[in-house]
Structure formats: structure tokens, C-alpha cells
Structure 1
Amino acid sequence: MRVVIARCQVDYAGRLTAHLPMATRVIMVKADGSVLVHSDGGSYKPLNWMSPPCTLREEVAEDGVTEWTVSAAKSDDTLRIRIEKVLHDTSHDLGVDPGLRKDGVEKHLQELLAEHTTTLGEGMSLVRREYMTAIGPVDLLCRDAAGAAVAVEIKRRGEIDGVEQLTRYLELMNRDPQLRPVRGVFAAQEIKPQARVLAEDRGIRCVVVNYDELRGIDDPSLRLF
């Protein structure tokens, strides 16, 4: 990973346009090729970014300012960063990340929903658990009764950050011609009202699941073998 702290101006062009005026920001270039621009606020979400696959080209403009051009491989989207002054530039090899380890209840909830996908919708069937995307694994990849792909994110408590996480997964998965269109399902034992409003506004269906009922379906004492 490369981390650059610099005074920079950022312009995004593609399906939408966005402009960030000159200011001091953190630019992260990850090993998977993604480029993210952060400020010293706004929690974890970057101000702007380009997801892989993409290419990064660095050059010096006629006025002596360093320019980065990040181009998406599968679209005309571009992220242009004009760097006025570099305050810090360092690279680190982070190695292979072991991935997020869920707590016992959330992990078991994922296992139960993988076995009983019809809890998420009639005709729903499992394709695979922990379907890997460029930014991490989505909990379940399913197919609905019509055969369309459905990405399922599972939480104990459904909050806005979980909806944002699923939104990023859907954005990447819908770029894959073999998957799209991909719908989203946000499943949790409890979903906060603000998270539900945000999810529904983005076309993501919310499902409240009862962990105890699911455990009852899979009660080991009822098995013959």
C-alpha cells in the first residue's frame, strides 16, 4: 500500500462529475489497484475513489504540477489528482489479510441463512458463501426464483455503515457482465430506521431475521443422524 499526504485537487468524470478544491488530503493506493482520497474527517468513507480494475499514470504537467490520472478499465470513468505539494509519501507491504472474523452469533447467523435461504425470499437459492469482490467478501451470493443474482449482507444489528458496505459491493458486482443485474438484501436481527430508509432508497431490500427461530429450524436434537 502506498500512502501519500499532499495538497491536491481532485476531479472525477464519468457517470457523474465531482470536484474537490485544493486542500491537504490522504491518498491511498492499494495493492489491488484501487485509489482512495480521504480527508481528516467523514469517518471511514473516502471523499472520492476509483475501484479496480484501473490504471494509474503519473506525469508532470507544463506548469510543474504533478498529475495523477486514474482510468477505469471497463468504463470511461477517470479520476484526476493534481498534487501541489507532497508532505509524505511512503509504501508498505501489508501482506495477505486474514479477513474479517465475525463474532459467534453473526457467523452462525450467516451459516443458518446459507442453509435456509428461503428465509430471505421465496425461491431463493445459495450460489456460495463469502463471495469475494475486489474490496472484500459479500456474505452470501444467491439466485432468486427468476435466476437473478442477489448479494446478501448479514449483520447482528443493521446500521448505516452496513448499508454503505453492501452498496459498495453492489457497485462492483454490477460491473461484472456475468452477474449483473445484482440486487441487494440487507439482513439483520435488528435494522435501525435510518439504515432501512437509506437501504430502501438505494433499492436494497431489508429482511429482519429471528436468530432463535433459525436455530430452532436447525436444532441438532431433531436430527436423525
Structure 2
Amino acid sequence: MRLVIAECSVDYEGRLRAHLPRATRLLMLKNDGSVLIHSDGGSYKPLNWMNPPVNMHVLEGEKLTQSSQFTELADPEIQQLWTVQAAKSDDRLLIKIYEVIGELSHDLGIDPGLVKDGVESDLQRLLAEQIETLGAGYTLVRREYPTAIGPVDIMARDANGASIAVELKRVGDIDGVEQLTRYLELLNRDPLLAPVKGVFAAQRIKPQARTLAEDRGIRCISLDYDAMRGVDQSENRLF
């Protein structure tokens, strides 16, 4: 992990264009290749970012002034020019560094992963045992399916043999949809799995999360935790 506090401006070029004017920000470079730009506000969400795989080039000093790319962006105050280019698309970030205020690098080691609370772990176990809850003909591949960015809660196959990635939450919110989206982007790069479809499953799914998921082609399923563990038999309810 490398953290750089710098006065910088940022331009995103790709499917759309975005510009962050000159200001002091935190630049976060992770060992997985991701690059994130944070401000001192906006909670946890970065102002802009680039997901791996990416190629990053840094120009400074004499190489910077001699670069044809810098000629177009010439500014004598720029000390460094970072170009973060997506490996599989035309998307890129141009980060112009005017002053490096502070910098820290540290190896965080291997993360043990998120430890789910009791309800989420039980939901995962129960859904794996009752995989037909997702639909007739569904079969379980495995729980905690490993990926480079963390384990997928459940991998399954539908009646047609298509791969299904399932993200489980007690309360489904936008963060969970974003997490599943990242898994799907990575899994669909594997020709042995692609195309991989997503299922977002939770006891309760917030309306905004459901709207975002369905807009991305992700199916949403509400799970009855008590019914799945045999505590509350829905057919015996009066109301």
C-alpha cells in the first residue's frame, strides 16, 4: 500500500470525461494495482479511481519536459505526471502532481477477509444447503469461491449450466451491489466461467440497491431467514 498526499489535478478519459481541479488530495495505490483518489470528505467513497488491471507510468524531471504528452498539458508547476491506463479498455487517469506533501508505503500482508456476523454466515450455509431457493435446477459449485479480490459467497449453476455468483447480505444496500459488480467484472474475464450472472440475496434489500442491481442485470432475491432454518413455517401463518 502506498499513500501519497499531494496537490494535484486529475482528468479521467474514457466512456465519459471528468475533471478534478487542482487541490490537495490523498492518492492511494494498492498492491492489487488499483488507484484511488480521495478528498477529506465524502465519507469512504473516492472521487475517482481505476480498477486493476492497469498500467501506470510516471514522468518527472527531464523526461516530463521531453514528453509529447506533456507538451499538450504543459505547466511549469507540474512536478510529476501519472498516467494510469486500463489494460483492457481506453479508460485512463491523468494525475498531475504539483507538490508532494507526504508519502508512506507499507506492506499490509495477506488480509484474512471479512468475518461475517452470525446471520450472514447462517444465510450462506442455509442457502448452500437449499440452493434450489434460487430456482429449479440450480446446483451448488461451492461456498466462499476464491477470487483475487476476495471470496464470492456462493458460486452456483442454473438449470442451463450457466455460472451464477451470489452475494449474501442481512440488509442489502448499494455497497453490496457494488461488491458483487466487482466480482462479476473479474469472474467474467475467466473464459471457463463466462458469462457469469449475479444474484443479490438478502433478508431485506433497500429500494436504491434493488434499482441499481436490476439496472446492472443483477437479480434480487429476498430471503426468509426463519423459514429457511425451519423456525417459522410460512404456510402455517394466519396473515
User: TM-score, normalised on structure 1?
Assistant: 0.87
The answer (yes or no) to whether the contact 1:54–1:71 under 8 Å persists in 2 is yes
What residue number does 2:34 align with? 34
- Cα offset for 1:191? 1.2
Whether the 8 Å contact between 1:52 and 1:134 is mirrored in structure 2 is no
1:69–1:145 CA distance, 2 compared to 1 (3 A): same
Superposed CA offset, 1:23-48 (max 9, x none) = 22211111112111122222222222
Aligned residue number for residue 169 of structure 1:
183
Moved more, 19-28 or 107-116: 19-28
Change (3 A) 1:17 1:177: farther
Relative to structure 1, the CA distance from residue 47 to residue 84 in structure 2 (aligned partners, 3 Å threshold; closer, same or farther) is same
Whether 1:197 and 2:211 are equivalent positions in the alignment is: yes
Residue identity matched to 2:165: A
Larger Rg: 2
Deviation at 1:17, TM superposition (A): 3.2
Change in CA separation of 1:177 and 1:43 when aligned onto 2, cut-off 3 Å: farther
Structure 2 unpaired stretches of 5+:
66-75, 232-239
Counterpart CA distance in 1 for 2:146 and 2:41 is 29
**Residue 78 of structure 1: which of 92, 95, 103 is its match?**
92
Aligned residue for 1:21, secondary structure, equals strand
Shift of 1:202: 2.0
Task: State, as a whole percentage, how many aligned pairs show the same letter.
Answer: 68
Distance 1:17 1:205, change over 3 A: same
Taking the aligned partners of 2:162 and 2:48, their CA distance within structure 1 comes to 30
* Contact 1:163/1:198 (8 A) holds in 2: yes
How many residues are paired up? 217
Q: Call closer, same or farther: CA 1:165–1:34 in 2, change over 3 Å.
A: same
Aligned counterpart, 1:122 = 136
1:56-81 deviation per Cα after TM superposition (whole angstroms, max 9, x unaligned):
22112224530111223333332221
- TM-score normalised per structure 2: 0.82
For residue 207 of structure 1, what is the aligned residue in structure 2? 221
Q: What SS does the aligned partner of 1:165 have? A: helix
How far, CA to CA, are the matches of 2:183 and 2:218 in structure 1?
A: 12
Q: Which runs of 5+ in 1 are unaligned?
A: 218-225
* Aligned partner (choices 142, 147, 160) of residue 133 of structure 1: 147
8 Å CA contact retained: 1:148, 1:182: yes
* Aligned mates of 2:22, 2:47 — CA distance in 1: 13
